[in-house]
Structure 1
Amino acid sequence: MADTTREEDAISGVVERLKGAFSATHSQDEIEAAVAEEHASFIGRPVREFVPVLVERKARARLHESSG
C-alpha cells in the first residue's frame, strides 16, 4: 500500500513538472492524459521503482513531439 501511494505521489509530481514545461503549448487535460496513458502502459509490470521516471520520459517525449 505504501508503495502504491509513493508511486501515485510521484506521478502527481510528473504531472506538475510537465505542466510547468508544456503549459504554453498543451492544455492541462492534454498533459494529464499523456501521463495517464503512459502510466497505464506499465500496469501489470512487477518492478515499480522506476515507473514514474519512465512515465515522465515517455510523456515528455510525446508532448514534445506534438508541440511541433
Structure 2
Amino acid sequence: MAHDEEQELNAVLERLRQRFTGIDPGAIEATLRSVHQRFEGNPIRDYVPLLVERATTSELNRTAAG
C-alpha cells in the first residue's frame, strides 16, 4: 500500500472514531481494515480511501442502529 493511501486511511479512521463515539475504536479500525481489504489488487488506487470511508460508514451505521 502506498504511503499516501495509508495516511489517508488514518485520517478516515480518525474521522470515523470522532463520529462513532459509541463504538469501540478497535472495532472501528477492524471494520475499516476489513473493508480496505476488499479493494486489494485493484490497480486504480486514487479513490480507495473515499470508497473505504463510505463502506465503513455504512457498516458502522448498521452496527450503531442494531
Q: So what's the TM-score if we normalise by structure 2?
A: 0.95
Which residues of structure 2 form unaligned runs of 5+?
none
Q: Distance in 1 between matches of 2:11 and 2:38?
A: 18
1:36-51 superposed matches below 5 A: 36-51=33-48
Q: Tell me the CA shift for residue 28 of structure 1.
A: 0.6
Q: Tell me the CA shift for residue 43 of structure 1.
A: 0.3
RMSD: 1.0
Structure 1, residues 3-51: CA drift from partner, whole Å, max 9, x if none?
A: 700000000001000000001x200111001100010110000100000
Determine what percentage of the aligned residue pairs are the same residue.
Answer: 34
Moved over 4 A (4+): none
Which residues of structure 1 form unaligned runs of 5+?
none
